[in-house]
Structure 1
């Protein structure tokens, strides 16, 4: 298989290459996401490492869609390709891709002990540290603080309150002349982002996490049905029909242009929403996502990205050195200040510069440290199939091609068939 053809066909873009230095310098390549400021911050971090070490590095931009990125990674790694040395991987992928990565423990000098233990545990498979935490994530609620003040409304405590407030402000703004105003935008496309959003809705109502820690399929229950029924009612009412094809950046585009009251997204959107050219700079608030009713809870899906070294790398020692630099405290501090990327090192949540740039980091610390995990550990290599079934079922309910009851019943049946063959 021609792996360079795979890269070209998959729209990889070579974003930056630093000239090789004389002597024993090596060249390594790192895959970086391009959501928000990701690509630029990756480039500048790698450039600093290259200058410090005398090595050179190629920055490779990967698809924004996590689903597309995983498929591409699987192609490259299955082929034993050496084109990419350092992979940026989702928090749910160590169990799926781990056999292709080296153990970083011999290279870390114990640095992982400063990171959140839950993430380090997540990245450790069969006793091997397969990835270093780079930044963590949890879904949060963005709101237009100026509009809530204008209409005398408070930050909604429950999803029902959000629905009512979104409708009130949407209708008021439309009557005042903004025909493009919507109450809520989120990630509604049939992909991993919808799994994250829908898991938040369901877990906030006490509906569980699709598959429980023992591997039992639990998703078809009354609380999950209540959550999915409410979310399905939003489409065309407080959320545009187009939300069914929104990923993170599409949702941010609508919100940042001033055409949405509320947005579910990740913390990265804060820095962009408050950039100099943002129409809503200084008019944004961030809060925990609403509870699923008075008996529910605030919850955000655990996200975040890690850095792993391919076992097919021709320069694994150099690649591991780049990983340790990029995931270290100074680089995580810089990324938090410049791009609102959540550190995985607890001490940085007390850093004055980090908190000045992102006041909600301190206020929502519990949200970030107690986020609900997707069932990737218990379902292992089958997680992507589980998630695919889940997001398609949710999407069918949101789009109206199935009722919420039909969607959950069919989902339960599909997942149980899958589980009988073993996770």
Structure 2
């Protein structure tokens, strides 16, 4: 019997799935969007095998969750298709599949900023709101799955940038609290570098390579300075002192405080650099917490670091809202099975298990206040607050072109190819036609 609850409802009743999860813990279209025939808005029908398309799973835990589903649904087996680490590559492969109307992809794990683009192009099936209870999810995550007030994706994991820092080195330098401002962070670096243990430690790292991470770094830097890439009127707003101050922070940080190889480090490269013990402060996602605290010998900083809110120019900074949503391809054959699998994977029991196993941020609000979770992951209150105040990347149906423009111009500024003023002026000009209504 199929026992799939509403998301946010009661746990799965199946003893088989519960046992499997417990074991794993130890180890530019119209309004209607996609239906069963690529945009008809029809009911989700069809049962049988499906695929789950997602980025690279570094935790090794996803397969265990899928195994739990498969043991309960022998006639509706799920096969994972892993795409590359880099979000740009993931998005491109999903778009290639959609533009050929291929049924090879069933359930898609989408970056939260892709919903509008995919829904507008009728690459997603519209989801039935009456079958999905979003009331228990963090408010900030719910709108990321909607386009024109219709539901196209279910929030399954959230994200917000946080400051990882070497607590042991700060304490040895006589510093009691993590920095709240950029100036405090630089001053802390100088104190730590006077220690024998801190001589060879780099100060700070946030991603400044020419990838999606550059867009994220630009959003956080500009928003922390009081500006915005896209204004409230939906138009680019880069000709402001705040935008200039934000990008100048990135330029100066890369030049004076980051590792020499900063522009070549991606998310995983930054994680490995921090875990090698070579870094004092790092802007990073929650997933790093479990990996950096691993006792298998892969991390030299296990038990030596902590997490705090991002600093800003005059106080706490602004984090970017990240995360992933689950959607059904408009061209999938077995959409009913796909919807049930989304309910399973985004349900409270699965999100709890995923948090415990991987430290990835859930979308279920109650998990952030659960005493067991907070004891294991002390940063959860910090993360919950960061998500609540986080700012999204530009939400647009031409997101691919928008983020490519941001990445290119900001990379030129950070690497010194262009002055900050020129890069911002050029970006303003590129974004104007891309964001025109």
User: Shared fold by TM > 0.5?
Assistant: yes
Say which of 237, 243, 252 aligns to 2:262: 243
Question: Contact (CA 8 Å) 2:181, 2:314: kept in 1 or not?
Answer: yes
Say which of 138, 159, 168 aligns to 2:160: 138
Residues 62 and 238 from structure 1, CA distance in 2 versus in 1: closer, same or farther, beyond 3 angstroms? same
Is 1:32–2:51 an aligned residue pair? Answer: no
Which ranges of structure 2 fall in alignment gaps of 5 or more residues?
1-45
Counterpart in 2 of 1:155? 178
Shift of residue 25, structure 1, vs aligned partner:
7.7
Q: Deviations over 1:323-379 (max 9, x none)?
A: 110000000001111111111111111222221221111234211222111121xxx
Residues 256 and 381 from structure 1, CA distance in 2 versus in 1: closer, same or farther, beyond 3 angstroms? same
Is 1:407–2:429 an aligned residue pair? Answer: no
Question: Contact (CA 8 Å) 1:340, 1:357: kept in 2 or not?
Answer: no
Counterpart in 2 of 1:200? 220
Say which of 269, 272, 290 aligns to 2:311: 290
Shift of residue 164, structure 1, vs aligned partner:
3.0
> TM-score, normalised to structure 1's length?
0.87
CA RMSD of aligned residues (A): 1.9
Query: 1:406 & 1:270 partners in 2: Cα distance?
Result: 38
Shift of residue 115, structure 1, vs aligned partner:
1.7
Shift of residue 165, structure 1, vs aligned partner:
2.2
Query: 2:150 & 2:199 partners in 1: Cα distance?
Result: 55
Secondary structure in 2 matching 1:143: strand
Query: 1:417 & 1:125 partners in 2: Cα distance?
Result: 21
Question: Contact (CA 8 Å) 2:47, 2:334: kept in 1 or not?
Answer: no
Query: 2:407 & 2:153 partners in 1: Cα distance?
Result: 26
Shift of residue 59, structure 1, vs aligned partner:
0.9
Question: Contact (CA 8 Å) 1:268, 1:340: kept in 2 or not?
Answer: yes
Q: Deviations over 1:85-129 (max 9, x none)?
A: 1110010011011121112226x6232222223322221223431
Shift of residue 172, structure 1, vs aligned partner:
3.1
Higher helix share: 1
Shift of residue 176, structure 1, vs aligned partner:
5.4
Q: Spell out the pairing of 1:20-419 with structure 2 (5 A cutoff).
A: 26-34=48-56, 36-37=58-59, 40-54=60-74, 55-98=76-119, 99-105=122-128, 109-153=131-175, 154-169=177-192, 171-172=193-194, 179=200, 181-208=201-228, 210-276=229-295, 277=297, 278-293=299-314, 297-376=316-395, 380-419=396-435
Query: 1:314 & 1:62 partners in 2: Cα distance?
Result: 21
Shift of residue 216, structure 1, vs aligned partner:
2.0
Residues 381 and 110 from structure 1, CA distance in 2 versus in 1: closer, same or farther, beyond 3 angstroms? closer
Shift of residue 417, structure 1, vs aligned partner:
4.2
Residues 364 and 116 from structure 1, CA distance in 2 versus in 1: closer, same or farther, beyond 3 angstroms? closer
Secondary structure in 1 matching 2:256: coil
Shift of residue 220, structure 1, vs aligned partner:
2.3
Shift of residue 177, structure 1, vs aligned partner:
8.2
> TM-score, normalised to structure 2's length?
0.84
Shift of residue 228, structure 1, vs aligned partner:
1.6
Question: Contact (CA 8 Å) 1:29, 1:84: kept in 2 or not?
Answer: yes
Query: 2:223 & 2:147 partners in 1: Cα distance?
Result: 26
Query: 1:342 & 1:224 partners in 2: Cα distance?
Result: 29
